[in-house]
Amino acid sequence: DQSDLVDKLRDFVQAPVQHGKMDGIYFVRTYWKGTDTQAHAKVHGFTYAAIDDFTIIAIQAADNEPHNQTTMPVLDAAAESFRSQ
């Protein structure tokens, strides 16, 4: 739930929602960042979401600075490789 992120992260900023299609399913995607108040670390992440008939699909990933510079592109590519079963 995206609202959980807002509650857990200080200075939460969300990029505009993007729309696209993966494996024939329409998804929305947003990138976000904020400061984890418990870990005292800056966090970057993304959320993909879709509804396919009666199935809700959510793909999320996040990592702390400075590791996000290398991990997030790989995680984003993995999310974009989604294939329905």
- CA pair distance 42, 7, nearest whole angstrom: 15
Which pLDDT score, from 0 to 100, does residue 6 have? Answer: 67
Which pLDDT score, from 0 to 100, does residue 51 have? Answer: 95
Which pLDDT score, from 0 to 100, does residue 3 have? Answer: 58
Q: Which residues of the chain have pLDDT under 50?
A: 1
Which pLDDT score, from 0 to 100, does residue 38 have? Answer: 86
For residue 73, give Cα distances in angstroms to 21, 38, 39, 68.
19, 25, 23, 8
Which pLDDT score, from 0 to 100, does residue 76 have? Answer: 92
Per-residue pLDDT reduced to its tens digit, 2-17: 556 667 899 999 999 9
Which pLDDT score, from 0 to 100, does residue 84 have? Answer: 81
